[in-house]
Amino acid sequence: MNFNRREFFKTTALGTVGLALSPSFSHLMAAPVRAVAPTAGGIPHRFIFIRKSNGNLPEQFTLPTFSSEHQKMHTEKQAFDADLDKHELPDWLRGLESHKENMTILHGISMCVSGGGHYSYSGCMGAFKAGRDILSNIKRATVDFELANLFPSPFGHVEMSLAVPHGREFRTGIVSGYSAPGAQQRNYCYADPMTAYNELFKSVTNQNAVESDNSLLDYLRDEESLSLKNLDGEERIKIDNQVRALEAIRERNQKVATFGDTIKKHLPKLDSIHENGGLDATLLQKQAAFTDIIIAALASGLTNVVTYTIDDLGTDIATLPENEAKTSIHAIGHAADDGALAMRAHMQAHHMKQIETMVTKLKAIPEGSGTLFDNTTIIYMPETGAGHHAPDTEAPMIVLSGKKSKLDLAGRYIRLPFHGTEGHKTLSNWYTTLLNAYGNPIKHYGDLDQVMQRNRLEQTGAISRFLA
């Protein structure tokens, strides 16, 4: 075939392989081959990280049936545990009532290591301060990539996002993400459901596209290989990495092709409203479509780790039925009136509906002697701590974990010691715990907290009480 490289970048799936040839995207669409963490029956553990904007207000996580003693301890930020089955949930959390035995309200983890403000960019997933979204600020592989390395899959880590960067009205296609495969490397992500659907499932939905991609990849690989003959030093390394990326994408396509029957079994059905980037779809329609795609990608074995930015300050919420004032997430963050608090709760209730759908559907899919959810952990976390402009001294999270979780925390409300006090745990400790539990014995992942250092308080390692 006689292909033109420039035309290739225009015609391939939204320039996907064009991104693969840039240093920041050398990992694109191909999972590294790593040793799989030991699991019962060879079944991998799966993770869904759901990032949200505007922080999580601590007062929203108070249980309405707390005793006066527990309410006092909560208000004063003292550490305590409570069994969820003995309490009612706040209104916005009641969509998860039927899954309380799998649920944890985790309170007291601080995010000072990643910083507050409007955005944390890659920082909240890597436990470092990213500042502005600059490539050089990415200090390490984010925790979701580290977990994906423990449980390899054809796509490795998959990122989806409804984030809309400042100054834009919307995003579609394949765009830059927030997770990172390594230092000074930026992930890519799917910015609309149809793009995710087309790219993840095209081995059964569009075989012609796969064959065309493979032919183009062969051509580019040959062209890049010829370039190696006359190069040395850094340029040779760069071109060699590009060739390896192209070969890895082709290998991934071949591996995914063997998943055909499984993919067909779990293939979601997307409404035509999501075509052309889904510009006419409501926010709830987009969230529901992404939920279906996440479930299908996990059930098909295409990935074991998904990171999903369900909203950010730029995400348009005008189509939410409760948003009669047509306000914005940013405006809600700055306001402190009853209307803003109510809209926060409405948005979070919609998020919980999507999580409830995930859990219910994963529990309905058989796997081994149990279900797919038995080997799944879902973490719903704020990007920036406890509010719009932080504070990042606490960052309430919701965790849903299956029966075979290696974390001992399900069914409980857990408030850890407050920031800067003995026994406090940071985002770095939390991520170290996840990695240690699932096969990476790293002594400490992430940055150290400066206040904890000044107070000469121990802050390294996993949260031992959470390790089953």
389-415 confidence digits (pLDDT tens) = 889 999 999 999 999 999 999 999 999
Return the C-alpha torsion angle 4, 15, 303, 151, nearest 10: 70
User: What is the average pLDDT across 144-157?
Assistant: 96
CA 66 to chain centre: 31
Return the C-alpha torsion angle 225, 152, 463, 354, nearest 10: 110
Quickly state the pLDDT bin for 244 (edges 50, 70, 90): low
* 432 pLDDT more than 70: yes
**Highest-scoring range by mean pLDDT, 2-6, 189-193, 237-241:** 189-193
Q: Are 343 and 327 in contact (CB under 8 A)?
A: yes
3-state helix vs strand vs coil in the chain, percent to 5: 45, 10, 45
* 27 pLDDT more than 70: no
User: Which range among 90-104, 215-229, 426-440 shows the weakest confidence by mean pLDDT?
Assistant: 215-229
Average pLDDT, the chain: 87
User: What is the average pLDDT across 277-285?
Assistant: 95
Quickly state the pLDDT bin for 222 (edges 50, 70, 90): low
Looking at residue 39, its pLDDT comes to: 52
Going by C-alpha positions, the residue among 183, 160, 225 that lies closest to residue 27 is 183
Q: What is the pTM of this model?
A: 0.90
Looking at residue 214, its pLDDT comes to: 64
Segment holding 123, helix H or strand E: helix 123-126
42-201+281-466 folds as Alkaline Phosphatase, subunit A (3.40.720)
Quickly state the pLDDT bin for 9 (edges 50, 70, 90): very low
Q: For residues 279 and 269, what is the distance between their CA atoms, to the nearest angstrom?
A: 18
Q: Are 83 and 411 in contact (CB under 8 A)?
A: yes
pLDDT digits (tens, 9 = 90+) for 285-305: 999 999 999 999 999 999 999
CA distances (Å), 218 to each of 229, 240, 249, in order? Answer: 18, 15, 10
Beta-carbon contacts of residue 135 (< 8 Å; ≥ 6 apart): 24, 184, 185, 186
Quickly state the pLDDT bin for 451 (edges 50, 70, 90): very high
Q: For residues 301 and 46, what is the distance between their CA atoms, to the nearest angstrom?
A: 10
Each domain of the chain, given as residue ranges in start order, spans 1-30+203-267, 42-201+281-466
Q: For residues 354 and 400, what is the distance between their CA atoms, to the nearest angstrom?
A: 13
Instruction: Provide the 10 A C-beta neighbour count for residue 11.
Output: 14
* 183 pLDDT more than 60: yes
Residue 318 one-letter amino acid: A
* 14 pLDDT more than 60: no
User: What is the average pLDDT across 305-327?
Assistant: 95
**Highest-scoring range by mean pLDDT, 34-48, 249-263, 316-330:** 316-330
Phi, psi angle pair for 250, to nearest 5°: -65, -45
Q: Are 91 and 99 in contact (CB under 8 A)?
A: no
Whose tokens are 């019962």? That residue is 40
The rounded percent of the chain whose pLDDT value lies above 70 is: 82
Q: Are 271 and 209 in contact (CB under 8 A)?
A: no
Whose tokens are 């009532």? That residue is 97
Q: For residues 177 and 375, what is the distance between their CA atoms, to the nearest angstrom?
A: 26
Query: What SS3 state is found at 141?
Result: coil
Q: For residues 206 and 254, what is the distance between their CA atoms, to the nearest angstrom?
A: 14
Residue 140 one-letter amino acid: R
Beta-carbon contacts of residue 89 (< 8 Å; ≥ 6 apart): 63, 64, 96, 97, 100
Half-sphere exposure of 310 toward its Cβ, with a 13 Å CA cutoff?
28
* 1 pLDDT more than 60: no
Q: Are 388 and 103 in contact (CB under 8 A)?
A: no
Segment holding 196, helix H or strand E: helix 193-200
